[in-house]
Amino acid sequence: MRPFSKMNKLFLGVCAASGAATYYFLNGSNKTVYASWTSNYEPSPHARWDDNWDHRSPKFLSHPKYSKDENNNQIHSEIELNKAKSVRHLILIRHGQYNVNGQTDEDRTLTKLGKIQAEYTGKRLKELGLPYTKIIKSTMSRAQETGSIISVSLPDVPVKNCDLLREGAPIPPEPPIGSWKQEMYKFFVDGARIEAAFRRYFHRAAPQQKEDSYTVLVCHANVIRYFVCRALQLPAEAWLRMSLNHASITWISITPSGRVVLRCLGDSGHMPPDVVTSR
């Protein structure tokens, strides 16, 4: 057998050192790696769900607040009284295609195609046969028209208007996009209003609400996308990463426990392909 050369000895020495380092890292270090499917998995702090996101968690509504005495009947009774008992369904409708060349909001009315899209959405909502509680429309022209066309299919559902649902710039998007590099004051003003709309409509049901509710919000793409991010506790800056078709349906459910379910996002499958648009 040929004796080892100096290069062979050097190579074996490096391998031995690497093996020892690997063994130490796996067995001697304090770092522990868990597979995501094991019971020891710990989510990132940013991924943790905030149960009191709407500030209506029963344990935070009880008085006195939690004590160390878990057998305190008064506290448990108050928690039970403050628990939601029904689901709040929020059905978000983007307006139909509109005249983007209009100089004022009054000029930015629905196109002929936009009206057709709204008709299809109204018929779809009717076909679903849900016990709609009310329709709430943004006060902008294109949303007003879209809501009125939808109401033809849902004539018995009460209608209200809300200025908070108007289109705007909710928060600087990430990653930045050239067309959205607006002056910060625009985000500062619009963002506060759109966040106020989120807090008004997105929360678990009141304890007194006995039946599930279905509220239709007719508004705008930026508003809906921001709502989705906030409701799912995703970074709000991600809102511009989504695309919504005109007159599409986005459905969010808020359970009694405060958990949020996105049932569909920007659904336009109820329309023929030749009438589907997004810009």
CA 210 to chain centre: 25
Give the model confidence (pLDDT) of 154-167 as tens digits.
Answer: 999 999 999 999 99
Position 66 confidence tier, pLDDT thresholds 50, 70, 90: low
Q: How far apart are CA 142 and CA 105, in angstroms?
A: 8
Q: Three-state secondary structure along 33-78?
A: CCCCCCCCCCCCHHHCCCCCCCCCCHHHHCCCCCCCCCCCHHHHHH
Does pLDDT of 178 surpass 70?
A: yes
Tokens of 212: 């599930």
Of 179, 189, 185, 99, whose CA–CA distance to 145 is shortest? 99
Domain ranges, ordered by start, for the chain? 56-85, 88-275
Query: How are beta strands 88-94 and 213-219 bridged, if at all?
Result: parallel
Residues facing 214 on adjacent strands? 89
Beta bridge partners of 5: none
**pLDDT at residue 263, as a whole number:** 97
Class of domain 88-275: alpha beta
pLDDT for residue 266 is more than 80: yes
Nearest one of 228, 272, 232, 193 to 91, comparing CA atoms:
228
Q: What is the pTM of this model?
A: 0.81
Mean pLDDT of 172-201: 88
Closest CA to 165 of 269, 89, 90: 90
**99-148: pLDDT as tens digits:** 999 999 999 999 999 999 999 999 999 999 999 999 999 999 999 999 99
Give the pLDDT confidence score for residue 31 in this predicted structure: 52
Mean pLDDT over all residues of the chain? 86
**What is the tens place of the pLDDT at every residue in 25-53?**
445 545 555 555 566 677 777 788 999 99
What distance in Å separates the CA atoms of residue 203 and residue 81, rounded to the nearest whole number? 17
**Cα 278 from Cα 142, distance rounded (Å):** 14
pLDDT level of residue 1 (50, 70, 90 thresholds): very low
Residues 6+ positions from 159 with CB-CB distance below 8 Å: 134, 135, 136, 137, 147, 151
